[in-house]
Structure 1
């Protein structure tokens, strides 16, 4: 039997609509101000953390192979059919951004709109739906 912390996963997934809204808003009205740049940077960081935290919880809970990197978390949950290839592709790019957001923040281009900001809201929504569907299929069937 698997132990999957559904409450923790749900709590994190419940944060995604606000993160998506922030990214969507930034993309729609970008002026390149410092405040917008910092907000976008934080929203991208939260998106990366949520996706990798949820991925890790799924990997641990369903006893999938261990991940060797943040990008590998996405690869594993895509291989295990938790998420589709269409969702996995932009999430791989998001996971690859994590290092820059967390460790190389001193060189982050805060005045530039990142291309993922416009793309991620729909991807994050699909990620949440696909994870929820997977949990229902595996644990409630």
Structure 2
């Protein structure tokens, strides 16, 4: 995988923090920007614990990277990653919920713990207050990240 600037990215760099992971196209239309906004607000709402959480956007279709670069200016700190289609499918398979296969149902926000374990997911249109409450409980209970 690479970041938006083409620099190699190792997923081990994500360890040590809670991650809110979202998969989407580089065009990042209204549902996508809504989810980026939601993850940013959930992190900001953690107040003094915000440094323990990061937002990760995995690009499933990199046809419009310039558009995404512009969009991400509104969401500083978001880690945007791109990779070969097979690599993205393999990564997505690790996040598949029981109802679908790789890249099916990826319109979700996934919570990954600081050790890299998938913890839970939410439909992208889920109530952000429930996500906020759950993340606060995880941060309170966790001694890692």
Is this a same-fold pair by TM over 0.5? no
Return the structure number with greater strand share: 2
Query: Does 1 or 2 have the higher relative contact order (CA < 8 Å, sep 6+)?
Result: 1
The alignment's TM-score, normalised by the length of structure 1, stands at 0.30
TM-score normalized by structure 2? 0.29
**Of Structure 1 and Structure 2, which has the larger fraction of its residues in helix?**
1
